Amino acid sequence: MPSRSGVASPDPVRPLYSRRATAILLSVAVAVAALAVAGVAAAMGWARSPYSTMQYADVRQPVPFSHQIHVTGLQVDCRYCHSTVDREFTAGIPPTRTCVGCHNDAYLQSALFEPVRRSLETGAPIQWRRVNNLPDFVFFNHASHVTRGVQCATCHGDVGQMAQLYQARPLTMKWCLDCHRDPSPYLRPGEGAMPRSDSGRPWPVRAGTPDSIAGAVARLTACSTCHR
């Protein structure tokens, strides 16, 4: 205010700012900027971390089904349970009947099989918890991947060693694109590289030529390949 301008004038002896003012200001500014950057970096880092992607998360199932026992121990073909994995979009979650094909009455008496018994009695499905969960705006086709020679383990990890199934890969869009941009290292043409198939049903893997794979990259990275 004009009338108080004289009062507000600075002391001619003491400087308005201390000698360290600039240094303090700068360090505060740097700290704020660093915090902001660190905050963003932390958020982005968190989003990519297993905490956010649920990679390795402990997902307890109603029945403690062990892929280790079935795949490594009993050498069951993946497609005995996931029967449409080489033909359709979905791999297929086995109906309760598939379990009791092998697990006869003796097995079923066990307490662990209580949900299976209940499902058979009531006709209500077993409520498995989803482990590998893609967002609803992602349309993933199992058959297209399997028939091109993408191994089950490439995305699901070595389920044969998992006593309790967990999400082995981050399943982030970057992770998908790493392969879609350069699929060659992940394609193992020939049936031999696929999981064992004692069922007498060969894996319908068709090898692409290096040229056809290179030509496919533009298509593979188009948004509508996965998002519709």
Partner 1 sequence: MSGTDGVRASAGGGADGRWAAALARRGGTDFWRGLDELLDTPEFRARLADEFPDQATIPAEAWSRRSFLKLLGASVALAGVGACINVPDERLLPYVDQPPEATPGVARYYATSMTVGGLATGLLAESHVGRPTKLEGNPLHPASLGAAGVYEQASLLQLYDPDRLRGLRRGGRRATWEQFATDFIAPAARRTDGGAGLALVLGPTSSPLEIALLARLRDRFPGMHVHFHDPLVPAGALEGGRRAFGVPLLPRYDLREADVLVLLESDLLGSAPFHLRHARHAAGRRRMLEPTDTMSRIHAAESAPSVTGTLADERLRTRAGGVPRLLAALLAEVAGTSGGNPGALVDAREREWIAAAARDLRAARGRGLVAVGERQPWHAHVLVHAINARLGNVGRTVAYAPSVIEEAGERSHDPAALAELLRDGGVDTLLVMGVNPAYSAPGELELGRLIGAIPNTAHMGMYADETARACGWALPEAHYLEGWGDARAYDGTVSLIQPLIRPLWEGRTVAQLLTMLLGADPDGRGLVREHWRTAGLADESAWERAVQRGVVDSTGMSVSVPALAGDAEGAAVAAALDASRPAVGMEIVFRPDASVRCGEFSNNAWLQELPDPLTKLTWGNAAQVSPATAARLGVEAGDMLRLSYAGREVTMPAIVLPGHADESVSVHLGYGRQGGERVARGVGVDVYDLWPADTPHSGDGLSVEHVAGERVHLAVTQDHWSMEKRPAALGATLAEYRANPDFARPQRGRQLSLYEPYAYDQGDQWAMVVDLSTCIGCSACVVACQAENNVPVVGADQVRMSREMHWLRVDRYFGGDVEDPTVAVQPMLCQHCENAPCEYVCPVNATVHSPDGLNEMIYNRCVGTRFCSNNCPYKVRRFNWFDYNAELGETERLAKNPDVTVRERGVMEKCTFCVQRIRRAQQAAQVEGRKLAPGEVVTACQQSCPTQAITFGSLTNPTDDLLQRMAARRRYAALHELGTRPRVNYLARISNPAPDVTGASGTADAAAVAGMDEASDASARPGERPSGEGEPA
User: Which residues make up the interface to partner 1 (CB under 8 A)?
Assistant: 51-54, 84, 86-90, 92-97, 119-120, 123-130, 133, 135-137, 139, 141, 143-144, 147-148, 204, 206, 215, 218-219, 222-225, 227-228
Is 59:111 a contact under the CB 8 Å cutoff?
no
Shortest separation between residue 53's beta carbon and partner 1, angstroms: 8
Q: Smaller CB distance to partner 1: residue 3 or 212? A: 212
CB-nearer residue toward partner 1: 41 or 124: 124
CA 10 to each of CA 1, 4, 25, 128: distance values in angstroms, whole numbers, following the listed order: 15, 12, 21, 74
Q: How far apart are CA 186 and CA 175, in angstroms?
A: 12
Comparing CB distances to partner 1, the nearer of 201 and 219 is: 219
Q: How far is the CB of 51 from partner 1 (least distance, A)?
A: 8
Residue placing its CB nearer to partner 1 in the complex, 18 or 184: 184
The nearer residue to partner 1, 95 or 189, going by C-beta atoms, is 95
Rounded Cα distance between 56 and 156, Å, is 11
Q: CB of residue 90 vs partner 1: minimum separation in angstroms?
A: 4
Distance CA 95, CA 98 (A): 6
Q: Please count the other Cβ atoms lying within 10 Å of the Cβ belonging to residue 182.
A: 13
Q: How far is the CB of 148 from partner 1 (least distance, A)?
A: 8
Nearer to partner 1, 24 or 130 (CB): 130
Of the CA atoms within 13 Å of residue 107, those in its CB half-sphere come to: 10
Q: How far is the CB of 78 from partner 1 (least distance, A)?
A: 16
The count of other CB atoms within 10 Å of the CB of residue 112 is 12
Provide the terminal-to-terminal Cα distance of the chain, rounded to the nearest Å: 63
Tokens describing residue 201: 């049903």
Please, what is the minimum distance in Å from the beta carbon of residue 45 to partner 1?
Answer: 14
Query: How far apart (Å, rounded) are the C-alpha atoms in residues 130 and 128?
Result: 6
Burial of 46 (0-12, 13-18, 19+ CB in 10 A): exposed
